[in-house]
Amino acid sequence: MSAPVAPVAAARTASPVAAEAPRRRTRGRRSARVKLVIGGTIVTAYVLAALLAPWIAPDDPLKQHIVDLLHGPSSTYLLGTDAVGRDEVSRLLYAARIDLPVAALVTVLPCLLGTALGVVCGYVGGWLDAVVMRISDLLQAFPMYVLMIVLVFSLGPGLRSLLISFTLVGWVVYARLVRIEVLRIREAEYITAAVTAGFRTPRIIVRHVLPNTLRQTVIYLTSDLVFAVTALAAFSFLGFGIQEPTPEWGNMIAGADPYMAQHPLLTIVPGLVITVLALGFAFLGDGLQDRKEQ
Amino acid sequence: MRRRPTKTSPVTDTRAPDTDQVVLSVRHLHLETEDGTPLVQDLSFELARGETLGIVGESGSGKSLSLRSVLGIQPESLVLTGGIDCAARAAMVFQEPATALNPTMRVGSFVAGVWRRHHPGESRSAARAAAIELFDQVGIVDPAKRFGAWPHELSGGMRQRVMIAGALATSPEVLLCDEPTTALDVRVQAQILALLHRLVVEREMAMVFVSHDLAVVSSVCERLLVMRHGELVETGPLADVVAAPGQPYTRDLLAANLARRLADRGASPASLTTGGVS
């Protein structure tokens, strides 16, 4: 009885094995798309909120309703008011107009600096490469957050010192990432072909090397936005970032902190707003990485 | 004019040594690794204007390395001695068109860029027109439409035609071909060989064609140079070498390679050599 069963069982087990590779690829592609859609939707929603804040916000984010301090959620104040009577929803919406562009800036600036250094180091090499890489070793030997806090502390609070400290600390990863990519790309036959076609080095770097590093950089940049969004809020919470009365999610949490017991929503909601945006960028970065691996 | 390292071969290089007409001269080329392993030893040959030279040999015989040395694109780690004198503009067609084209550059932009680099002062639109004209010359159907294509959108044969168009954009007097048909299927290979042959004749270019495949080389070249273990084994007019190989290695190569393929086609060596040379 067992003899005729065996081939059937074998066939049954064999077919999933044979189909496994393509199916896994399909599943991977689908999950990458799902991540990209989720991440894209979240980020788009935030961008729209920031752009449309003046029209969709129910109130002026700076206007203080002295009679309605720490008002609970109501039809007038959907999420209540803060300690000086400002409408929470309006502040959250207007804060997006600060947090999104600042997060983008503190990510893009180090990316530009790091990419430029990484490309030149990787393609030209020599003493410049040695010097830049030793500096990056030095910077990486410190914990990133500590270094940034020290820099912001010594430069004083505000947007300018945030930009400087994020750039001075953040370029390292981009430089290393791009440099490794360039070391790989410069061995590619199409670079040899460009050299034999008579193109000069600057043109080869800009037109042939740089575009081929972009994909890897964009993937990292998207994940880096996750860090930027949370780090920005952290600095503002500590009082080193964007200053009151400008609405910013981090300083909103800081301002609501003493009233946690009476009005917990004032800390919870900005925290959620930050977390969901970070999640959106994380999904985008993950999806891009997955798609690249296929 | 003896270039063979051995004295037993009856074949001599019959080409007239007219030095005015020499466009490429390689003298005592020697390539070795940093630890002293020789890869190419004492290779010397000359190429006259409009002449077609085929370099054949098995994998690792140093034929591609020698060709790359002409343009100075051998691996940087290798130590090169000897003289390479390329008196003419040279351009190269690479083996693997899939990796020799920048994946982030439209094929038309590549060719137009190369053309403009070699025609300073010309406008972008002139470069575009020139690239489309070159696409047409290399047999790309609907060249204006293909101008904006990405490399991954094209087939292997089309990509190799783009590479050839890019090489032609430099108006070369010497075309260096590094196994340009090895990555292609047999039918496309024949088309590319026919194209190269036509271009060489039309533009009166000299050509060095490197391949492991004697049959391929003999369809486009007048003169043959056989290499093995980094050394020149035998050289001479194609018909002579094929009809009367002077070296045992050449005979082996012929037997292993050409004879089998000729048998497949039902042809004899004689018909191939007369048919292949223009």
Mean per-residue pLDDT for B100-124? 92
pTM of the model: 0.77
CB contact under 8 A, A199 and B113: yes
At B189 the three-state DSSP class reads helix
Touching check for A206 and chain B: CB below 8 Å?
Answer: no
In A119-185, at which residue ranges do the beta strands (DSSP E only) sit?
Answer: none
What ipTM was estimated for this complex? Answer: 0.79
Q: How confident is the model over B52-110, as pLDDT tens digits?
A: 999 988 887 888 888 888 888 888 888 888 878 777 788 999 988 888 999 999 999 99
- For A200, the closest chain B residue by CA position comes to B117
Q: Does A199 touch chain B (CB under 8 A)?
A: yes
* Tens digits of residue pLDDT in B192-248: 999 999 999 999 899 999 998 888 888 889 999 988 888 888 888 888 887 778 788
Provide, as residue numbers in chain B, all residues whose Cβ is less than 8 Å from the Cβ of A196.
71, 73, 91-92
pLDDT level of residue B263 (50, 70, 90 thresholds): low
Note whether A197 contacts B: Cβ–Cβ < 8 A.
yes
Indicate the pLDDT class of residue B260, thresholds 50, 70 and 90.
low
Is B54 in contact with B225 (CB distance < 8 Å)?
Answer: yes
Yes or no, beta carbons of B104 and A189 under 8 Å apart: no
The residue written with tokens 């409408």 in the block is A87
Q: Does the pLDDT value for residue B2 go beyond 50?
A: no
Chain B closest-CA separation from residue A139 CA (Å)? 32
Does pLDDT of B13 surpass 70?
A: no
Written as one string, the DSSP assignment of B54-86 is EEE--TTSSHHHHHHHHHT-S-TTSEEEEEEEE
What is the predicted pLDDT for the residue at B14?
44
Q: Which residues of chain A register pLDDT less than 70?
A: 1-25, 27, 294
* 3-class secondary-structure state, position B178: strand
What's the confidence (pLDDT) of residue B196? 92
Structurally, at CATH architecture level, domain B22-88+174-276 sits in 3-Layer(aba) Sandwich (3.40)
Tens of pLDDT along A140-183? 898 888 888 889 889 988 889 999 999 999 999 999 999 999 99
The domains of chain B are located at 22-88+174-276, 104-172
Residue of B73, B101, B169 with shortest CB distance to A195? B73
Lowest-pLDDT choice from A272-276, B119-123, B262-266: B262-266
Q: Are B42 and B3 in contact (CB under 8 A)?
A: no
Task: Assess whether pLDDT exceeds 90 at residue B135.
Answer: yes
User: What pLDDT is stored for residue B16 in this prediction?
Assistant: 47
Q: Which domains are present in chain A?
A: 54-293 (1.10.3720.10)
Q: Are strands B22-32 and B79-86 parallel, antiparallel or unpaired?
A: antiparallel
- The C-alpha of B16 sits at a distance from chain A's nearest C-alpha, in angstroms, of 30
Whole-number average pLDDT of chain B: 82
Distance CA B55, CA B226 (A): 6
Give tens-digit pLDDT for A101-135: 999 999 999 999 999 999 999 999 889 999 999 99
User: Over the Cα atoms of chain B, what is R_g?
Assistant: 19
Residue corresponding to tokens 């009005």: A263
At residue A25, the pLDDT reads: 65
Q: Which residues on chain B place their C-beta less than 8 Å from a C-beta of chain A? A: 71, 73, 91-92, 94, 96, 99-105, 113-114, 117-118, 163, 166, 169-170
pLDDT band at B262 (very low <50, low <70, confident <90, very high): low
CB-CB: which of B100, B103, B104 is closest to A193?
B100
Kindly report the CA angle at B246 between B241 and B249, in degrees rounded to 5?
Answer: 95
Distance from CA of A212 to the nearest CA of B (A): 6
Percent helix, strand, coil in chain B, to 5, is 40, 25, 35
CB A267 within 8 A of CB A83: no
Average pLDDT of the residues in B164-181:
92
